[in-house]
Structures are given as structure tokens and as C-alpha cells.
Amino acid sequence: MAIVKPFLGLRPPKEIAEKVASPPYDVLNTEEAREMAQGNPISFLHVNKPEIDLPADHDPYDAEVYKTGRRNLDKLKADGILKSDENASFYLYAQKMGDHRQVGLVAAASVQEYIDDKIKKHELTRAKKEKDRVNHMIALGAQVGPVFLTYKASKEIDTLFNEIQQKEPEYDFTSPDGIQHTLWVVGSKMRIEAIARLFDEVPVLYVADGHHRSASAQIVCKQRREDRPEYAGSEPWNYFLTVIFPHDQMMILPYNRVVTDLNGLDKDAFLAKVAESFMVAPADKAFEPESTKTFGMYLDGQWYRLEAKDGSFDAKDVVNSLDVAILQNNLLAPVLGIGDPRTDERIDFVGGIRGLGELEKRVNSGEMTVAFSMHATTIEQLMAIADAGMIMPPKSTWFEPKLRSGLVIHEIGD
């Protein structure tokens, strides 16, 4: 069963929702966020990335950053930019990017189900990033960045969501990146009960994106349970803010790699070592892998097509048969000396939304020496790994479109 709860959403009036909504905190650096929010005092970036309102050299993890976020949130509430709904509601959130459209449920998911692994994970988290989100959540008394969840699609849920979408939406706008965002408020008792009943039949939810946000919600919940042993279980901090999409509407883009150097090898020696595990052929243009087990490589102004050789990976291993694992185990680690891509500063990761031109740019500039274009991991692979209780290699998935922050906030109190 999947426990989902309606909640008193804190959100902007429809006339200004477009100006308030912002990209999530982790897809912009501080400079980009500061530039995007310039001239817009009601941008949610003032809450989501409050360091933009402090000097450029201010430590982004200093306590004053989180206090600034709380002051900014309180001001938006005091000025009527954010208002709490009078009744607990679900919300339906549709996103359209080009020809792709996905519709998810905005709901409060159960921290206890997360603890019990009924909400499955596929990534490791880093303590520093967890601490940052914990501090942010506690300072704000709210969860402001939704966790992106998925479930195996249900025809009954699809039918109900299609019915809800026949009504006039509360929000409908296109953000500067060309993505259309549409939101419906689902406040009727009948609809709420129907949604809860249908999700009660969903056996498991999966974290698609937002592992640090969900892990941080768990930490805050456990802390408060320890501090308040008489808790009832219905307190809002026992739940966390999510948007839940069916698996067959998910779009995963590649997560490409760039590396600073060839680990002391010259070009010919490097290519020879690569050829031990991959079939290597020059490509006449930027190469985007057309199938799994193939890779593009950009080196010294030339694109190559790489194909993993038979026997270089265990096809029966759900983790090590992933393209990201094949590249890591057969090239990045043994040839380029990148043993831990989570911590090695010689490697960087480029979301597929930026295109292959970004890979060429970073190599041609001299910042990087070699780039690798990947085939996207599938949602079925993600769920199989999560079901097996295993962990995907870092930076295996890049989900698009990204969820907008500031459209609906889940307050958990102080």
C-alpha cells in the first residue's frame, strides 16, 4: 500500500504563480540563481536559495543563510504572496515539455513508509547535502522542494486523473525554459477519498529524484519523534512533500561525463587501452548512443563510437550491466584512474538536457580533455535495482522536466 495524504498547501494566488515559481534549488548555482531572481522580489529562489540575498563570499551553509530563508518565507506569507488553503487538498500537477507530457499527484507521503522501505531508493546520499536540507527544513518549518516519486502505472488512477483534468486548472503558465506547468486543486471529499483508496492499492513507490530531500525529511521526523515521544503520528512532519508520477510517463535523459585529463597517457596509448574493452570507431558527427552498451567519446576534436565488448560486463547483474557501470568499470576506473566518481574532482557530470554541444564546448575550451555521451537509463532498470535493494552508480539518471518549487509548500511547523 502507498499512504498519501492531502494537506493544507501554502501557495501563491493564481495571478502571480508564474512569478513566484522557481527551478529547484539544486539545478542552479548561486550566481545563476542570483541573476534569475534579480528584479523579482517574490521569486521563490529567495526562499529556496537564500544565499542569493547575502554577500557573494558568504558561506552557503552558514546559519545566517537558513535564517534568511525563513525571513523571506515569512515575508511572502505576510505580504499575501503565499497563502494557506482553507481545506486539506491533493493537487494534480501536469508538465509539458515539447511533445512529452506527465501528470503527477502532489501529496504528503509517509515518512514511516520511507523508513520501512515501502518507498524504495536507488541512490546513496551524502551527509553534507543531507545536513544542508535538514537545516533548511528546520529553519523554514516547511518542506519547499518536492520529492519526485514514481509508481507502476494504474489504469484506474489514469482514468481518475483524466477526469480531474477536465476542470479549469488553478495554474496554467509556461516558464522561461518553455515548459508548461498546469495545476489543479483537488479539494472535494469524494475525489480525495478516491485518490487515497486507489493509491492504497499501489504496492510500492520509488524515489526517482530527490534522495537528499526525502532522507532529510526522515532525519527531521526521527529527531522530532525523539523529542516528542507522545507524538500521535498524524503530525505533518511525519510526512514529506512529493509529486508522484506513473512510471510510463517518466522521461529520463542521459547523464553524460567529462574528464579533465587522460591520466598521464598520450592519445594513442589511451585509445589503445580503451580498445581492450570496447570496439572503437571514428564517428563523422557528434555521436548520441542509439542503444544501450554503446557510448560516444569526444577527444581532440574527434567523436568516436564505443561499443562494449562481449564479456566485459555481467549481463545478468542488474547494476553492473547498466551503461554507467560499464563505462565506470571498464574505462573510467582502470584507464583514467577515477575510482570513486562521487568524490573525484577530475570528473564532472552534464545533464542530457544540455545536449552534446555542451560536451564539445567543455573539451574544446581546454577545461576538459575527454567527454562521454551516454544512453539513458530506463525507468524499468531503476525500479528493478530498487526492488532488489541495490544502489545505482552515482549520476545514473537525469529526469526532465524538473519540478517547479514554490507552487505548493508543505508546512511542518517548528
Q: What is the pLDDT of residues 361-398, one digit of tens each?
A: 999 999 999 999 999 999 999 999 999 999 998 889 99
Query: What pLDDT was estimated at residue 86?
Result: 96
Would you place residue 138 in the very low, low, confident or very high pLDDT band (cuts 50, 70, 90)?
very high
Would you place residue 95 in the very low, low, confident or very high pLDDT band (cuts 50, 70, 90)?
very high
Pairing of strands 239-246, 147-151: parallel
- What average pLDDT does range 36-51 have in this prediction? 97
Cell matching residue 248: 510510463
Whole-number Å distance between alpha carbons of 347 and 368: 9
Would you place residue 85 in the very low, low, confident or very high pLDDT band (cuts 50, 70, 90)?
very high
- Write down the number of H helices and E strands in the chain: 13, 21
Would you place residue 242 in the very low, low, confident or very high pLDDT band (cuts 50, 70, 90)?
very high
- What average pLDDT does range 325-342 have in this prediction? 96
Residue 342 pLDDT greater than 90, yes or no: no
Query: What pLDDT was estimated at residue 173?
Result: 98
CB 281 within 8 A of CB 185: no
Whole-number Å distance between alpha carbons of 234 and 232: 6
DSSP, res 353: G
| Region for residue 391 given its phi and psi (left: phi exceeds 0; alpha: psi -120 to 50; beta: otherwise) | beta
CB 139 within 8 A of CB 69: yes
DSSP, res 404: P
- What average pLDDT does range 28-34 have in this prediction? 93
Report in angstroms the alpha-carbon separations of 354 from 78, 136, 336, 398: 38, 29, 24, 11
Which residues are CB-neighbours of 217 under 8 A, at least 6 positions away?
Answer: 111, 114, 137, 143, 147, 237, 240, 241
> pLDDT (tens digit, 9 = 90+) per residue, 107-135?
999 999 999 999 999 988 888 999 999 99
- What average pLDDT does range 273-286 have in this prediction? 97
Q: Where do the domains of the chain lie, and which CATH numbers do they carry?
A: 4-251+400-411 (no CATH), 255-375 (3.30.1760)
Q: How many CA atoms lie within 13 A of 186 on its CB side?
A: 26
Cα 58 to chain centroid distance, Å, stands at 26
Q: Is the peptide bond before 282 cis (omega within 30 degrees of 0)?
A: no
Cell matching residue 146: 518536492
Query: What pLDDT was estimated at residue 125?
Result: 87
Q: Phi first, then psi: what are they for 41, rounded to 5°? A: -65, -15
Whole-number Å distance between alpha carbons of 255 and 377: 9
Tell me what the pLDDT averaged over the chain comes to: 96
Residue 343 pLDDT greater than 90, yes or no: no
Q: Phi first, then psi: what are they for 304, rounded to 5°? A: -125, 155
Name which of 19-23, 313-317, 339-343 the model is least confident about. 339-343
- What average pLDDT does range 215-238 have in this prediction? 97
- What average pLDDT does range 20-39 have in this prediction? 94
Q: What pTM value is reported for the model?
A: 0.91
Most confident of the ranges 271-280, 349-358, 383-392: 271-280
Query: What pLDDT was estimated at residue 126?
Result: 84
- Percent of the residues in the chain that have a pLDDT greater than 70, as a whole number: 100
Q: Which residue from 36, 34, 76 is spatially nearest to 56, judged by alpha carbons?
A: 34
Which residues are CB-neighbours of 37 under 8 A, at least 6 positions away?
Answer: 22, 43, 45, 46, 52
Query: What pLDDT was estimated at residue 124?
Result: 86
Cell matching residue 40: 523579482
**41 three-state secondary structure:** coil
Compute the CA torsion angle 59, 62, 66, 68 (nearest 10 deg): -60
Angle in degrees, CA 333, 262, 344, rounded to 5? 50
Handedness of CA 283, 284, 289, 295 (dihedral sign): positive
- What average pLDDT does range 80-99 have in this prediction? 97
- What average pLDDT does range 333-346 have in this prediction? 94
Q: How many CA atoms lie within 13 A of 203 on its CB side?
A: 3
Query: What pLDDT was estimated at residue 154?
Result: 97
